[in-house]
Amino acid sequence: MTMKAIANRIQAAVVGKQGLRLSRRSMMTGLACIISALLPVAAAQAQTQAPLSKWLVGTWLLESFTSTDDKGVVTDAMGPGAQGYLSYSSDGWMSVQLARAGRKPFAVPDMDGGTTEQTVEAARTYFAYAGWYAVDEQNHIVYHNLLFSLMPNWVGSKQKRYVRTEGDDTLVLSGDPVLIGGKVQVTQLRWRRRAAPAK
């Protein structure tokens, strides 16, 4: 609707209720006040209606990582206090890093310094992958197309993540059922948008 059409409607409403005509100056002053009042609402609506592909861009820190089995039992997928970050870039790339809390260092501070047991433990308490992403705006789904993954079986795969947003700074991702520890489970990761610490 044009500004002129809005002005005509306001004037018509006033004439209908009060039986008088507004001066052009009074009408424009009233219109300016109404528009000023509506601008914050319009801005808020524009923000919530931003395309998901743009809204996702940024870095997210992990708040929780849970899994639910077929009996409805919910557990911390990587133990309590798991940490991680997820990054979506504006040019279409993404990466994720997840780590169990309290990971033990290698006995020898060398890239190859861990014993077999320490190396296995390090791999089991960490997960990461990276690739490019695509967004299904209508169904609120983001697809992670993996070029790299700690788990070799996932290289070349397309991982579907259902997206739920809460306000402007909370992202909840869940996936289809997956096998974890011999059990079919559904995972849910809750993220909070974060800027990098100031230098």
Span 32-74, pLDDT tens digits? 444 444 444 334 444 445 899 999 999 999 999 999 998 899 9
Note the pLDDT tens digit of each residue in 130-164: 999 999 999 999 999 999 999 999 999 999 999 99
Contact 135, 50 (CB under 8 A): no
Encoded tokens for 189: 């990761």
Contact 119, 108 (CB under 8 A): no
Note the pLDDT tens digit of each residue in 78-129: 999 999 999 999 999 999 999 999 999 998 888 888 899 999 999 999 999 9
Beta strand 74-76 pairing with 58-69:
antiparallel
> What is the domain partition of the chain in residue ranges?
3-48, 52-193
Contact 124, 157 (CB under 8 A): no
CATH topology of domain 52-193: Lipocalin (2.40.128)
* Rounded-to-5 percentages of helix, strand, coil across the chain: 30, 40, 35
Q: What residues does 30 pair with on adjacent strands?
A: none
Say whether pTM exceeds 0.75: no
Note the pLDDT tens digit of each residue in 167-187: 999 999 999 998 887 889 999
Query: How many other CB atoms are found less than 10 A from the CB of residue 132?
Result: 14
